[in-house]
């Protein structure tokens, strides 16, 4: 706002500077002058329907709604004059006449905007003596509870669906006081951001289904944290009563999550009290699991690892969760290096490690800048479900007119207009290669293919675009030709002058890369250390049946090992099969730590809740393990000391997508009748998310359980919806899934997710599969 462009208005006798045309309510908010409101929300379109923000404007005979009144130079406004207050009280009375006033049994009680405003503008008795409206409550899914009799029709939830979530799930039907909010035909909300309507609803009409009836707002304390399930690193408030996290709310951070939170980050806290939460250290003795004390368990772990190592550190391997904190990763790396092992990795779902890796892969720019792109090419990802708030930013760009083009092995259900170039998992690589050829790449696999006009046109637009971005995501990383895909993508971006970005895994993928939680000199990567089994393994925060690219190979290697030490927050059948010691690990909300989010922002957090049972923060466990194994430099007393040492080691290291593309990489995925597409479902990404019952009850989670294939293939194979299908992959056990024909899957492909129940038996995320009726 430059000096010339500002105007001056007067509000309640105070002179305020404002931008011409700004809405009065925003100018007043900025100046700390409170005007009551319900329908207004700074992130949603204006609707002016609640009439609560009526104020008096000089020379206007009737009160005007501050939310839609643009300011003019010299305007004189009174927010508390008799006319304004009478109008505000009038609106309040109308809002209350049909409201049930059931505050004592309403979950919103104590944190209700209607209650708060009624305190100031309501009357002590109602003049309404007629029958009140009663509305039936539809079931809109496992996340959001409805009590629509309480609805004040502000339509924030409706506008949220249309404008932010990108699906019009809730709408207002009916006229007059028959108007109700609903889904028209009753169905569950399918948005991955649905939970935000709980925050938006100013009353108790939409509340949290998992949380409701558990606690009053004033019984809980609020502690800050960082969400631990994707690279966004959403800022959150944990709400606790008696040290138990009962719910999670977003904490405003415009640069990261704005005021939103994905459902995954909002409801995953349920897992903290999961039935299979590991509360005590476990040691396997003679094939039997026994609970024990920390001292014995740590000694058993140290001894086991030392024995497996013998005098060859290379016999040990470390598989670390990309969602572990900087402190945990740093100490785990220090431990492994101290034991002489260079076999360390956090890229657990990556299939191909050929070629020079990017130095420190990251988004390639600030999260907020995603929404300013003019053209985004997305290779092997579904940001909407992979990292919902990144998907939201990309959608914002699309809504502003950006072109978004997807290269994927299957068609996605998107909430904005975008081009989707879909080909089966092998041809998909060739599609990307075509684009690379159009970009002028002349070596390697591109020689064998013919570039089409639409590739040339896309490249031309990519080159011409002011702000262009090429994003490479999880589905590409899980492909056996990821090295090639990455190389092609980088060459396209380079030739077009576009920015290159990686949708890195976990909450701390960037932190792990910065720390170098990757193979050291001569070390083995996540694939190699399982393909060439080691004698001892350290697992941090993972469930090997679910969190590895090739669970069959992984479980096999771990089974053969002499000693597997796992730090885990949960018990699991796979873990209990392969491990020898399981040490109960505090979950992210229970431990202090640091994440580097996908844009490279360092975000520290404290433990919000005490660890469940005897669980301990990872840094403490690793510290003691280091000391027990007589490795020097493990004398830490606080997580801050660990952080400082880790940051000191990082020095000036910064995220950097640079690498040397290797044009000689060949396409290795063989042609086959049916190739698997192993998507990582939104609610399967980590052990916590997989244990949140509300999330598992959503359509997104339930739909992920099916084996999906093109209806033509289904017809050819004689499969119909609901058939039980036995899936075989080379070097894997068989598993049975229910078939669902789906035209989103191209012919010659089978969409069968990774990290879902049953998928532990299977091998890699891509590759040949054979199907037969069970």
Partner 1 sequence: MANEVCLRTLDHDQPWSLEAYRAVGGYEVLKRVLQEKTAPDDIIAEVKKSNLRGRGGAGFPTGVKWGFINRSAPGDRYLVCNSDEGEPGTFKDRDILRYNPHQLIEGMIIAAYTIGAARGYNYIRGEFQEPYERFEAALEEARKEGFLGEDILGSGFDFQLHAHLGAGAYICGEETALLESIEGKKGQPRFKPPFPALFGLYGRPTIINNTESLASIPVILEKGGDWFKDLGVENSGGTKVFSISGNINNPGVFEIPMGTPFKDLLQMAGGMKDGRPIKAVIPGGSSAPVIPGAQMMELTMDYDAIQQAGSMLGSGAVIVLDDTNCMVRVLERMSYFYYEESCGQCTPCREGTGWLYRIVHRIEQGKGRQEDLELLDDITGKIAGRTICALGDAAAGPVQGMLKHFRDEFQYHIDRKRCLVSAGG
Question: Please, what is the minimum distance in Å from the beta carbon of residue 29 to partner 1?
Answer: 19
Question: Please, what is the minimum distance in Å from the beta carbon of residue 72 to partner 1?
Answer: 11
Per CB under 8 A, 191 contacts partner 1: no
3-class DSSP state of 374: coil
Under DSSP, the state recorded for 684 is G
Q: Say if residues 332 and 559 touch (Cβ distance below 8 Å).
A: no
Per CB under 8 A, 181 contacts partner 1: no
Q: Residue 501 belongs to what H/E stretch?
A: strand 499-502
Q: Which of 37, 41, 51, 437 touches partner 1 by CB under 8 A? A: 51
Q: How many whole angstroms separate alpha carbon 177 and alpha carbon 160?
A: 22
Per CB under 8 A, 118 contacts partner 1: no
Q: Which of 34, 120, 128, 638 touches partner 1 by CB under 8 A? A: 128
Q: Provide the mask over 701-740, with x wherever binding to partner 1 is found by CB under 8 A and - wherever it is not.
A: ----------------------------------------
Q: At what angle do helices 482-496 and 425-438 cross, to 10 degrees?
A: 30
DSSP-assigned letters across all residues of 301-328 = HHHHHHHHHTT-GGGEEEEE-TTS-HHH
Q: Which stretch binds partner 1 (CB under 8 A): 74-82, 121-129, 505-513, 536-544?
A: 121-129
Q: Which of 20, 70, 120, 670 touches partner 1 by CB under 8 A? A: 70
H-assigned helices in 439-569? 453-464, 474-477, 482-496, 509-515, 528-531, 551-560
Per CB under 8 A, 93 contacts partner 1: yes
Per CB under 8 A, 101 contacts partner 1: no
Q: Say if residues 403 and 374 touch (Cβ distance below 8 Å).
A: yes
Angle at 371 between CA 369 and CA 375, to 5 degrees: 100
Question: Please, what is the minimum distance in Å from the beta carbon of residue 181 to partner 1?
Answer: 11
Under DSSP, the state recorded for 497 is T
Question: Please, what is the minimum distance in Å from the beta carbon of residue 773 to partner 1?
Answer: 46
Question: Please, what is the minimum distance in Å from the beta carbon of residue 179 to partner 1?
Answer: 3
Distance of CA 513 to the CA centre of its chain: 19
Question: Please, what is the minimum distance in Å from the beta carbon of residue 102 to partner 1?
Answer: 17
Backbone angles phi, psi at 571, to 5 degrees: -80, 155
Token pair 């027990």 in the structure block, residue: 628
Number of residues that bind partner 1 (CB under 8 A): 37
Q: How many whole angstroms separate alpha carbon 337 and alpha carbon 488?
A: 34
Per CB under 8 A, 36 contacts partner 1: no
Structure tokens of 575?
């873990």
Task: Rank residues 66 and 390 by Cβ distance to partner 1 and give the closer one.
Answer: 66
Bridge partners of 726, per DSSP, are 736, 772
Q: Which of residues 400-429 bind partner 1 (CB under 8 A)?
A: none
Q: How many whole angstroms separate alpha carbon 416 and alpha carbon 490?
A: 26
Q: Which of 709, 711, 719, 707 is nearest to 757 (CA)?
A: 707
Per CB under 8 A, 172 contacts partner 1: yes
Per CB under 8 A, 98 contacts partner 1: yes
Q: Which stretch binds partner 1 (CB under 8 A): 92-100, 186-194, 243-251, 543-551?
A: 92-100
Q: How many whole angstroms separate alpha carbon 535 and alpha carbon 304?
A: 10
How do strand 235-241 and strand 344-345 relate by DSSP bridges?
unpaired
Task: Rank residues 74 and 310 by Cβ distance to partner 1 and give the closer one.
Answer: 74
Question: Please, what is the minimum distance in Å from the beta carbon of residue 41 to partner 1?
Answer: 16
Q: Which stretch binds partner 1 (CB under 8 A): 59-67, 324-332, 594-602, 705-713?
A: 59-67
Per CB under 8 A, 46 contacts partner 1: yes
- Distance in angstroms between the alpha carbons of the first and the last residue of the chain: 68
Per CB under 8 A, 282 contacts partner 1: no
What is the number of residues in the chain?
774
Per CB under 8 A, 48 contacts partner 1: yes
Q: How many whole angstroms separate alpha carbon 731 and alpha carbon 768?
A: 11
Task: Rank residues 83 and 653 by Cβ distance to partner 1 and give the closer one.
Answer: 83
Per CB under 8 A, 91 contacts partner 1: yes
Per CB under 8 A, 66 contacts partner 1: no
Task: Rank residues 75 and 688 by Cβ distance to partner 1 and give the closer one.
Answer: 75
Q: Which of 18, 27, 50, 316 touches partner 1 by CB under 8 A? A: 50
Q: Which of 4, 130, 254, 652 touches partner 1 by CB under 8 A? A: 130
Q: Residue 625 belongs to what H/E stretch?
A: helix 618-628
Question: Please, what is the minimum distance in Å from the beta carbon of residue 99 to partner 1?
Answer: 9
213: left (phi over 0), alpha (psi -120 to 50) or beta: left
Q: How many whole angstroms separate alpha carbon 547 and alpha carbon 536?
A: 18
Q: How many whole angstroms separate alpha carbon 424 and alpha carbon 745?
A: 8
Q: Write out 475-486 in H/E/C secondary structure.
A: HHHCCCCHHHHH
Task: Rank residues 54 and 751 by Cβ distance to partner 1 and give the closer one.
Answer: 54
Task: Rank residues 97 and 103 by Cβ distance to partner 1 and give the closer one.
Answer: 97
Under DSSP, the state recorded for 665 is P
Per CB under 8 A, 62 contacts partner 1: yes
Question: Please, what is the minimum distance in Å from the beta carbon of residue 643 to partner 1?
Answer: 52
Per CB under 8 A, 184 contacts partner 1: no
Structure tokens of 651?
């020095």
Q: Which of 63, 250, 505, 661 touches partner 1 by CB under 8 A? A: 63
Per CB under 8 A, 49 contacts partner 1: yes
Under DSSP, the state recorded for 97 is H
Task: Rank residues 417 and 450 by Cβ distance to partner 1 and give the closer one.
Answer: 417
Q: Which stretch binds partner 1 (CB under 8 A): 123-131, 353-361, 475-483, 724-732?
A: 123-131
Per CB under 8 A, 75 contacts partner 1: no
Task: Rank residues 152 and 762 by Cβ distance to partner 1 and give the closer one.
Answer: 152
Q: How many whole angstroms separate alpha carbon 328 and alpha carbon 318?
A: 12
Q: Which stretch binds partner 1 (CB under 8 A): 57-65, 520-528, 552-560, 661-669?
A: 57-65
Exposure class string for 725-734: b at 16+ Cβ within 10 A, else e: bebbbeebee
Per CB under 8 A, 163 contacts partner 1: no
Q: Say if residues 79 and 14 touch (Cβ distance below 8 Å).
A: no
Question: Please, what is the minimum distance in Å from the beta carbon of residue 184 to partner 1?
Answer: 11
Task: Rank residues 45 and 637 by Cβ distance to partner 1 and give the closer one.
Answer: 45
Per CB under 8 A, 95 contacts partner 1: yes
Question: Please, what is the minimum distance in Å from the beta carbon of residue 53 to partner 1?
Answer: 11
Per CB under 8 A, 68 contacts partner 1: yes
Q: Which of 131, 134, 185, 275 touches partner 1 by CB under 8 A? A: 131
Q: Say if residues 711 and 742 touch (Cβ distance below 8 Å).
A: yes
Backbone angles phi, psi at 428, to 5 degrees: -60, -45
Question: Please, what is the minimum distance in Å from the beta carbon of residue 198 to partner 1?
Answer: 22
Per CB under 8 A, 185 contacts partner 1: no
Per CB under 8 A, 175 contacts partner 1: yes
Task: Rank residues 37 and 264 by Cβ distance to partner 1 and give the closer one.
Answer: 37
Q: Say if residues 197 and 260 touch (Cβ distance below 8 Å).
A: no
Q: How many CA atoms lie within 13 A of 6 on its CB side?
A: 10
Q: Say if residues 264 and 700 touch (Cβ distance below 8 Å).
A: no
Q: Which stretch binds partner 1 (CB under 8 A): 63-71, 411-419, 682-690, 721-729?
A: 63-71
Structure tokens of 334?
């220090």
Q: Which of 167, 179, 418, 649 touches partner 1 by CB under 8 A? A: 179
Question: Please, what is the minimum distance in Å from the beta carbon of residue 124 to partner 1?
Answer: 16
Interface ranges with partner 1 (CB under 8 A): 46-52, 54, 61-63, 65, 68, 70, 87, 90-91, 93-95, 97-98, 127-131, 152-153, 171-172, 174-179
């Amino acid at each position: 706002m430059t000096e010339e462009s500002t105007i001056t208005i007067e509000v309640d006798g105070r002179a305020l500077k404002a931008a011409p045309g700004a809405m009065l309510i925003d100018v007043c908010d900025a100046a700390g002058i409170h005007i009551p409101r319900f329908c207004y929300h700074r992130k949603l379109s204006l609707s002016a329907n609640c009439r609560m923000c009526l104020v008096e404007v000089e020379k206007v005979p009737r009160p005007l709604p501050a939310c839609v009144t643009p300011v003019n130079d010299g305007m004189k406004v009174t927010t508390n004059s008799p006319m304004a207050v009478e109008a505000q009280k009038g609106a309040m009375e109308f809002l209350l006449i049909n409201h049930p006033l059931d505050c004592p049994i309403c979950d919103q009680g104590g944190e209700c905007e209607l209650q708060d405003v009624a305190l100031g503008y309501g009357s002590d008795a109602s003049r309404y003596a007629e029958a009140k409206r009663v509305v039936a409550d539809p079931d809109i899914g496992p996340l959001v509870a409805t009590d629509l009799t309480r609805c004040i029709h502000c339509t924030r939830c409706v506008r949220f669906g249309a404008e932010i979530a990108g699906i019009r799930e809730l709408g207002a039907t009916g006229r007059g006081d028959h108007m109700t909010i609903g889904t028209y035909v009753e169905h569950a909300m399918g948005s991955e951001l649905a939970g935000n309507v709980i925050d938006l609803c100013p009353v108790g009409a939409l509340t949290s289904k998992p949380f409701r009836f558990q606690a009053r707002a004033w019984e809980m304390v609020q502690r800050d944290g960082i969400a631990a399930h994707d690279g966004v690193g959403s800022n959150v408030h944990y709400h606790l009563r008696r040290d138990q996290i009962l719910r999670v709310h977003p904490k405003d951070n415009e640069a990261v999550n704005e005021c939103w939170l994905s459902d995954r980050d909002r409801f995953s806290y349920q897992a903290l009290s999961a039935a299979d939460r590991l509360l005590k250290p476990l040691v396997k003795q003679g094939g039997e699991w026994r609970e024990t004390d920390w001292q014995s368990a740590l000694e058993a772990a140290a001894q086991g690892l030392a024995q497996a190592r013998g005098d060859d550190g290379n016999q040990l391997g470390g598989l670390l969760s990309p969602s572990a904190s900087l402190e945990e990763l740093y100490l785990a790396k220090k431990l492994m290096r101290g034991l002489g092992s260079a076999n360390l990795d956090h890229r657990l779902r990556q299939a191909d490690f050929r070629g020079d890796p990017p130095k420190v892969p990251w988004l390639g720019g600030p999260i907020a800048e995603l929404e300013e792109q003019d053209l985004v090419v997305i290779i092997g990802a579904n940001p909407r479900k992979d990292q919902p708030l990144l998907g939201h930013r990309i959608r914002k760009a699309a809504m502003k007119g950006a072109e978004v083009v997807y290269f994927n092995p299957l068609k996605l259900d998107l909430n904005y207009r975008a081009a989707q170039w879909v080909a089966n998992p092998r041809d998909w690589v060739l599609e990307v290669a075509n684009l690379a050829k159009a970009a002028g790449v002349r070596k390697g696999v591109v020689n064998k293919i013919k570039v089409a006009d639409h590739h040339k046109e896309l490249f031309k637009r990519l080159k011409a675009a002011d702000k262009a971005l090429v994003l490479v995501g999880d589905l590409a990383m899980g492909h056996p030709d990821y090295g090639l895909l990455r190389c092609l993508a980088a060459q396209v971006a380079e030739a077009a002058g576009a920015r290159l970005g990686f949708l890195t895994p976990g909450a701390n993928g960037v932190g792990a890369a910065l720390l170098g939680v990757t193979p050291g000199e001569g070390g083995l990567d996540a694939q190699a250390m399982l393909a060439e089994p080691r004698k001892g393994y350290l697992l941090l925060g993972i469930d090997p049946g679910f969190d590895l690219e090739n669970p069959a190979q992984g479980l096999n290697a771990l089974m053969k090992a002499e000693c597997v030490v796992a730090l885990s927050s949960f018990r699991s059948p796979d873990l209990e099969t392969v491990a020898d010691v399981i040490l109960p690990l505090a979950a992210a909300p229970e431990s202090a730590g640091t994440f580097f989010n996908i844009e490279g922002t360092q975000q520290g957090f404290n433990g919000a809740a005490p660890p469940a049972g005897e669980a301990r923060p990872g840094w403490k466990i690793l510290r003691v393990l280091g000391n027990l194994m007589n490795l020097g430099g493990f004398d830490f007393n606080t997580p801050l000391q660990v952080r400082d040492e880790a940051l000191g080691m990082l020095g000036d290291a910064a995220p950097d997508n640079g690498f040397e593309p290797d044009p000689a990489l060949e396409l290795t995925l063989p042609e086959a009748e049916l190739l698997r597409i192993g998507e990582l479902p939104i609610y399967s990404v980590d052990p916590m998310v997989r244990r949140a019952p509300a999330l598992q009850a959503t359509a997104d989670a339930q739909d992920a359980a099916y084996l999906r294939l093109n209806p033509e293939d289904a017809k050819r194979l004689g499969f119909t919806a609901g058939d039980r299908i036995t899936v075989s992959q080379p070097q894997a056990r068989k598993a049975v899934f229910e078939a669902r024909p789906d035209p989103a899957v191209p012919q010659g492909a089978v969409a069968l997710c990774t990290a879902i129940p049953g998928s532990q038996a299977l091998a890699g995320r891509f590759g040949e599969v054979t199907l037969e009726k069970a």
